[in-house]
Structure 1
Amino acid sequence: MRETLSQRSWEWIKKQPDFHSHELAKEMDVSLHQAQMVIDHLKTLGAVETINSKAKPVVYAKVARAKPHLPGKNPTSPQPNSIRQRIWQAMRFLEVFTIPEVMGLAECSKSSVERYLTDLCRYEYVVKVGSFNKRAPMAKRRGWHNRYRLFNNTGHKYPVARKEGLYDQNLKRLIERPETAE
């Protein structure tokens, strides 16, 4: 797991008797503005204090025995407002739906809904309940959309499609692809 800028900065600051924002920016290879933001954040957490504000640049030092809470990045955690989370919530709300209905409720593109719907259909979380007659003339098909039903509603967290299978965050397990009858 990669460390955040605040975590890397704190590890460096702990080893310094004192420092200023220019040193931190150079050491972390970030802009002066980003370094100052990290320092301000650590000051609000009570981990860094100003030693000399009259000096240019201002001199800072770590607070003795300070242990700021700096949570790391978790690349596998679901984003609460991600597109797929919104699509999943729309499907749970509607239960029986069309692609345009989900697009409207989730406020996302048709391709996003279709892509996620394909994954969910593949793992039998969603089933198609009604489709139009492909042989019917275009005039009779106009305005008709396939209807889908959420078949496997396991909870509020959206299932994540992976190479190995579909990871259900509610069941906390990987769902393997069902065997297709040949």
Structure 2
Amino acid sequence: MSQRDHIWRLIRAGDVFTIAGLIESTGYSSSNVRPYVNGLAKNGVLERIDPRPGKPTHFRLADDPGPQAPRYDGGKGQVMTRPTERYRIWQSVRVLRVFGSADVAATAESTKTSVNAYIRDLCHAGYARMTRSTDHSRGNQCEYRLIRDPGPLPLRYRVSDSALIDPNTGEVFPT
């Protein structure tokens, strides 16, 4: 789970919090927590409660965009609200349950290349399996079935050790 995901889970799970409280709960540095929280507050995702000079500012969730941690674009000072491509693909797979890459690409507003790569990851992690292979003579595409749905967040690829990570469960799948 990324630092942003961890911070976001704590924000959603609690009621009122301070930046110092998040730093203490997570063990992350102020330079990681403070800009993220302030960016979310600046963009209306969080609300400042009774800010007083010399006292820690308390925050609470004002507009919950869902379980996926909002991405804050520090350069432009905006929260990016469009879900990531992987998130859209994963949500489509979860809804369809039995799917082909063309169906997922259409519902997730994604490319077949990206969808095929993500489906390979799902199969590798044991979350989906092929139920019908391609039959070019009949024009059939591969069909897959979702066999494990651990939650709303999509698998992530960790470059440092070439592993797939499930942020819902914390499981790591070496590739």
TM-score normalised by structure 2 residue count: 0.53
- Which residue does 2:130 correspond to in 1? 128
Instruction: Please tell me the residue identity of whatever aligns with 2:146.
Output: L
How many angstroms apart in 2 are the aligned matches of 1:5 and 1:160? 20
Q: Give the distance between the partners of 2:145 and 2:101, measured in 1 at CA.
A: 11
Q: Which residue of 1 aligns with 2:172?
A: 174
Match of 2:144 in 1: 148
1:66–1:151 CA distance, 2 compared to 1 (3 A): same
Moved more, 153-162 or 97-106: 153-162
Match of 2:56 among 64, 67, 91: 67
Root-mean-square deviation (CA), in Å? 3.5
Please tell me the residue identity of whatever aligns with 1:149: R
Aligned-residue identity in percent: 27
Q: In the alignment, is the contact (CA less than 8 A) between 2:100 and 2:141 conserved in 1? A: yes
Q: Indicate how the Cα distance of structure 1 residues 98 and 6 shifts in structure 2: closer, same or farther if over 3 A, else same.
A: closer
Query: Residues 151, 66 of structure 1: CA spacing in aligned structure 2 closer, same or farther, 3 A cutoff?
Result: same
Structure 2 counterparts to residues 17-166 of structure 1, below 5 A: 64-68=53-57, 77=69, 81-133=83-135, 140-142=137-139, 144-162=140-158, 163-166=161-164
User: Aligned partners of 2:118 and 2:57: how far apart in 1?
Assistant: 40
Q: Show CA shifts across 1:65-119 (max 9, x none).
A: 2534589xxxx94768111111111111111100111111111121221121121
Alpha-carbon distance in structure 1 between the residues aligned to 2:130 and 2:114: 18
Report the 3-state secondary structure (helix = DSSP H, G, I; strand = E; otherwise coil) of the residue aligned with 1:161: strand
Divergent runs of 4+, >3 A = 44-48, 66-71, 76-80
How many aligned residue pairs are there? 119
- How far, CA to CA, are the matches of 1:5 and 1:123 in structure 2? 31
Structure 2 residue identity aligned to 1:4: P
Indicate the residue corresponding to 1:55 in structure 2: none
More strand by percentage: 2
TM-score (norm 1): 0.51
Long gaps (5+) in structure 2: 1-30, 61-67, 72-81
The verdict on how the C-alpha distance between 1:6 and 1:150 changes in structure 2, with shifts beyond 3 A counting, is closer
Q: Point out where structure 1 has 5 or more consecutive residues left out of the alignment.
A: 8-37, 49-62, 178-182
